[in-house]
Amino acid sequence: MSEQQQQQSAGEAVQCKPVEVVVGDRGLERAIKHLKRKMANEGILRELKRRRHYMKPSIKRRKKEAEAARRRRKRLRQVGME
């Protein structure tokens, strides 16, 4: 379990680093794309969607297992490509 998850389960406040994107000479459009990519990698959008509605604990457990299986399949695909 990560340190952040341990703090959440202990009821402590969690300090997160903000997602920042520097708008350089390449323009605003590229910075927005970069921000969206960073947010997707961090899982921010998935977390927002997950928190929108209440989920029963049994459904939450099933979703968690399905997500773990998806990550396992993804890892196996990546290992097979190398």
The residues of the chain scoring below 70 in pLDDT are: 1-14, 82
Can you give the pTM of this predicted structure?
0.47
Rounded to whole angstroms, the Cα distance separating 28 from 26 reads 7
Which amino acid is residue 33, in one-letter code?
K
Structure tokens at 45: 């959008």
* Confidence (pLDDT) at 62: 96
Q: What is the DSSP string of 10-75?
A: HT-----PPP-----TT-HHHHHHHHHHHHHHHTHHHHHHHHTS---HHHHHHHHHHHHHHHHHHH
Rounded to whole angstroms, the Cα distance separating 14 from 64 reads 21
